[in-house]
A and B are shown apart, each in its own frame.
Chain A
Amino acid sequence: QSALTQPASVSGSPGQSITISCTGTSSDVGSYNLVSWYQQHPGKAPKLMIYEDSKRPSGVSNRFSGSKSGNTASLTISGLQAEDEGDYYCCSYAGSSTFYVFGTGTKVTVL
């Protein structure tokens, strides 16, 4: 049950695009199209931004997009805005013996 690997921090200027990676294994990220991405602000519950690798829930800005290649999933935020600052976590289904595993988390800073 090892956590998925994310960069500790990513930063960008307003209007730029950034990408957060989420590296797992062939037992989790690579096996299922079930990676979700969450945004979390201090003291708040996580908010779903992407589900099933690349689907965006209703109400989430189209500046957020998800993709996956092999054992690595990615979240891209385009047109970076100040409100995008926060912590981001990936989460993958990992089969019936492990169930779900979260990423280590990435702090996004808007410069």
Chain B
Amino acid sequence: EVQLVESGGGLVQPGGSLRLSCAASGFTFSRYAMHWVRQAPGRGLEYVSGISVNGGSTFYANSVKGRFIISRDNSKNTLYLQMGSLRPEDMAVYYCASWGYVETTYFDYWGQGALVTVSS
């Protein structure tokens, strides 16, 4: 069974930092791009960041560029999101996800989400 389990969420003051982790199991983590998607309370989904299989290519939404860093450790099957200079508008549930093809079969995996609260 595929599992993506986020951790590291919590309460942080504006301007603070937090690191989210996403532990993957049940699929060959090192073969697939990984993504972070967030959802602010009562709002829609927002694509935040993505990383290639070897970490050589990364993408950031304009809203987080320069403040967030995505990385991965394929030896630990873990995805990370280092979040800095946090703002109230960064408060959201952060999902890690992966989608694509395993041979000829399309897959789409999401974690249960980690809540990040930014408040003084």
Contact = CB atoms under 8 A, between A and B. Distances in A.
Contacts of B99: 36, 48, 51
Interface string A62-83: 0000000000000000000000
Contacts of A48: 99, 108
B95 interface: yes
Contacts, number: 50
A32 interface: no
B97 to A, nearest CB: 8
Contact of A99 (B45, B59, B112): B59
Contacts of B61: 1
A57 B99 CA distance: 12
Contacts of B14: none
A96 B95 CA distance: 21
Interface of B: 35, 37, 44-47, 50, 59, 61-63, 95, 99, 105-106, 108, 110-113
Interface of A: 1, 3, 36, 38, 40, 45-46, 48, 51-52, 55, 57-58, 87, 89, 91, 96, 99-105
Given A38-B45, A46-B95, A105-B44, 16 more contacts: A3-B46, A45-B110, A45-B113, A46-B37, A46-B45, A46-B110, A51-B99, A51-B106, A52-B106, A57-B108, A91-B47, A96-B59, A100-B35, A100-B50, A103-B44, A105-B45
